């Protein structure tokens, strides 16, 4: 009997054949990709705000240039991902509206305030570190445009993580006040960084299907565990302690055991009640409105160009 379209599709996935925009795909596959890629893009764009807050207050030109470059990269990642998302047949304006009206999520981590200069280093080390852990497997995602976008994004994320860690290494060799600022920052960002990987697998409505479709190559818990294992040694080099009394090497498992995440806090932030949720969206809406003239000018110019072209062809 002829294999159904779904069966043929799943065979392609099982044989690691990339799915491209013009290929047939189950509506649910398309929808979950739009959901994940658009929220990923929103995270990149909103993620510019916490760090943008410190560009004018960087302690020297070298730090300012690195931070400027990083924030600019995040904008590029967002635009890259919106373009990948549009290949699934959704308009950019609709995606932006979903963010501004709260219909779409973005990573919870960006709803926390950046209170000290050390936060710029901790974000690079932990937030971009977690992003890299989660994004490298996405370079092998079954959907072609998303996987290809991730290759360049991951290369730039490595610079983000490196510059953050180096900033913290400098503080770790500084004055007692700088060491204290470093430790206080890590205390605030450690647990929210673990939340970036999403709920435990048992509580994740999407992971099983995303694994079957090879959108995800590892589960939330697997990536979170790898991240914890990697950070413990890095924290030792910085001379900081991670704020988890249950963190302990488990010889049998070959991994670090760690404490329970505060899932009430996680869902509270995801539902819009984090310290900065309202401020982040208001800032995004205002920036979008203030940029209307740029979009109008660009489309007027594009229209003029196409009129010129059609006249010259006629
Ligand atoms: N913040 C906000 N929402 C979250 C979340 C988080 N940290 N973790 C999970 N969620 C949401 C999911 O979006 C989903 O809600 P939805 O159905 O309304 O979309 C729900 O909680 C259940 O979570 P699942 O784990 O079942 O959902 P996913 O299978 O989509 O997994 C994910 C969540 C691991 C974040 C996955 O979507 C993913 O890998 N996304 C791509 C990477 C990404 O978006 N990273 C965010 C940070 S980007 C970044 O840090 C940029 C860097 O430059 C700093």
Tens digit of each residue's pLDDT (9 = 90 or more) over 3-14 = 799 999 999 999
List the beta strands (DSSP E) in 106-254: 248-250
Q: What is the pLDDT of residue 89?
A: 97
Residue 129 beta carbon below 6 angstroms from any ligand 1 atom: no
Rg (C-alpha) for the chain, rounded Å, is 21
Q: How many CB atoms lie within 10 A of CB 40?
A: 26
**Which are the contacts of 138, defined by CB distance < 8 A and separation ≥ 6?**
146, 147, 150, 217
Separation of CA 61 and ligand 1 centre (Å): 34
Q: What is the rounded distance in angstroms from the CA atom of residue 54 to the CA atom of residue 305?
A: 40
Residue 215 beta carbon below 6 angstroms from any ligand 1 atom: no
Of ligand 1's atoms, which has the minimum distance to the CA of residue 36?
A: 37
Q: What is the rounded distance in angstroms from the CA atom of residue 30 to the CA atom of residue 41?
A: 16
What average pLDDT does the segment 82-90 reach?
98
Separation of CA 39 and ligand 1 centre (Å): 7
112-148 pLDDT tens trace: 999 999 999 999 999 999 999 999 999 999 999 999 9
Q: What is the pLDDT of residue 313?
A: 75
Above 70 in pLDDT, residue 1? no
Q: What is the pLDDT of residue 248?
A: 97
Separation of CA 95 and ligand 1 centre (Å): 16
The pTM assigned to this predicted structure is: 0.96
């Amino acid at each position: 009997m002829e294999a159904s379209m779904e069966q043929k599709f799943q065979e392609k996935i099982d044989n690691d054949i990339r799915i491209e925009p013009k290929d047939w795909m189950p509506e649910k596959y398309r929808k979950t990709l739009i959901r994940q890629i658009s929220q990923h893009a929103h995270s990149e764009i909103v993620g510019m705000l916490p760090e943008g807050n410190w560009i004018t207050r960087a302690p020297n030109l070298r730090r300012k240039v690195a931070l400027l470059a990083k924030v600019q990269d995040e904008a590029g990642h967002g635009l890259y991902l919106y373009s990948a998302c549009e290949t699934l047949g959704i308009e950019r304006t609709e995606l932006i509206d979903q963010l501004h009206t709260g219909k779409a999520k973005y990573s919870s981590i960006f709803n926390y305030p950046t209170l000290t200069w050390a936060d710029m280093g901790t974000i690079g080390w932990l937030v971009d570190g977690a992003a890299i852990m989660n994004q490298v497997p996405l370079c092998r995602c079954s959907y072609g445009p998303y996987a290809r976008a991730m290759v360049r994004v991951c290369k730039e994320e490595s610079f983000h993580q490196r510059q953050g860690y180096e900033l913290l290494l400098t503080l770790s060799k500084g004055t007692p006040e700088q060491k204290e600022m470093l430790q206080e920052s890590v205390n605030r960002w450690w647990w929210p960084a673990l939340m970036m990987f999403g709920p435990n697998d048992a509580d994740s409505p999407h992971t099983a299907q995303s694994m079957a479709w090879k959108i995800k190559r590892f589960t939330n818990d697997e990536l979170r565990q790898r991240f914890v294992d990697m950070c413990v040694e890095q924290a030792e080099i910085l001379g900081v302690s991670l704020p988890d009394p249950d963190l302990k090497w488990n010889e049998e498992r070959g991994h670090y055991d760690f404490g329970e995440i505060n899932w009430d806090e996680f869902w509270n932030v995801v539902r819009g009640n984090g310290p900065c949720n309202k401020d982040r969206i208001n800032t995004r809406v205002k920036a979008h409105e203030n940029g209307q003239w740029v979009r109008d000018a660009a489309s007027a110019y594009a229209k003029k160009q196409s009129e010129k072209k059609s006249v010259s062809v006629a």
